[in-house]
Chain A
Amino acid sequence: LSEHSSILAHHFDDLEQQHEADTLGMWTFLATEVMFFGGVLAAYALYRHYYHSAFVAASGQESIVLGCTNTVVLLCSSLTMVLAVHSASEGKRRGIIFWLFMTIVLSLVFFSIKAIEYGKVFDHGLFPGLWNPTEEARQHLAHVDLSHVRIFFCFYFACTGLHALHMIIGVAIILVLMYKAYKGRYTAEYNNPIEMFGLYWHFVDIVWIFLFPLFYLVDRSGAGH
């Protein structure tokens, strides 16, 4: 067991128990994250129920192509993340670093597309903090109450912003993991941090799986798109 002593914390009996405790702790954290995003989405669902037509029109301002591309990009990053975890389980140091790097690259693609999207909303004057809709936006939204549209964009920026914040934190953690992998800290026997981070990354992906239909696909058939 001397070989394990550096990777096995002294308060655990063996690696298996340590792994089980790590997994359980991570899932407890993710359960609190589900409640965190769940609260925001519950409020969104309620407003969408009351201001349906305004939310349909506001959602029509979003680009399905950009939103869908970002969905695909994020799902690809989940695949590269799972491949990093797989490399870690086989103790392949270069595999871990390469797939973690690809995950960062895909995150940057996601951020770039998000920046284009946010830019468009700002250009139309639809950012709730700098609310000044352009003539073009007003024409598109002429049949609905603009104050309700503003609420839609409050939720849009709150939800996608919180999601992006989680990704930024994720990228920072990946950089640390890449450095430690480079130093040879992770082997086939011990790679818990990579696996636990994988759980976090997939959770962030799941949040987007819900944000995409909720914000980009609100009754598209009726909106005439």
Chain B
Amino acid sequence: MSKTAPHISLKTYFTVFAALMILVVVTVWAAGLNVHYTGFHTFTAMTVAFIKTWLVVLYFMHVRYSSTLTKLFAASAFVWLLLLFSLLFADYFSRPWLPVSESWANPAGQSHVDLSAPAHMERGAETHND
């Protein structure tokens, strides 16, 4: 039995399950907190979600008891996810920081172009209303 599947006590499973239940309560409670720092709610919600994922991956999915190669494969999934998000947001978040020449910022004599959102998104908002 120990040759194929790891043997983990039922107590471990129930403890992890109890922790997951508590974290569900925490995430709902935190979402209702009257805090107005930008990104606070997203940050706490995602932090709790990653803690829950960590518990499920390590114990329910047995990664803690698996070979180093399996650990590497499991971790690689999240590393690629991190690359996807960091490169995508590095692009979009940094767009308003760039110095823009007058001809770009003022293409058709408009007084102001909001570079915080891509132009096509803003146009879509106007023409497809409803």
Contact = CB atoms under 8 A, between A and B. Distances in A.
Contacts of A217: 27-28, 31, 41, 45
Contacts of A24: 69-70, 73
A209 B41 CA distance: 15
A151 to B, nearest CB: 9
Q: State the majority secondary structure of interface residues on A.
A: helix
Contacts of B28: 64, 68, 217
Interface string A72-113: 100100110111011011110000000000000000000000
With a 10 A CB-CB cut-off, give which of B48, B77, B85 has the most chain A CB atoms.
B77
A46 B53 contact: no
B100 interface: no
A32 to B, nearest CB: 8
A217 B48 CA distance: 13
Contact of A86 (B8, B20, B74, B76): B8
A205 B56 contact: yes
B125 A147 contact: yes
B70 A213 contact: no
Interface residues of B, number: 58
Contact of B56 (A14, A27, A78): A78
Interface string B1-20: 10111011010011001001
A34 interface: yes
Contacts of B27: 212-213, 217
B113 interface: no
B45 A34 contact: no
With a 10 A CB-CB cut-off, give which of A23, A90, A195 has the most chain B CB atoms.
A23
Contacts of B105: none
4 cross-chain pairs, A with B, having the tightest CB-CB distances, nearest first: A213-B45, A31-B77, A217-B31, A34-B77
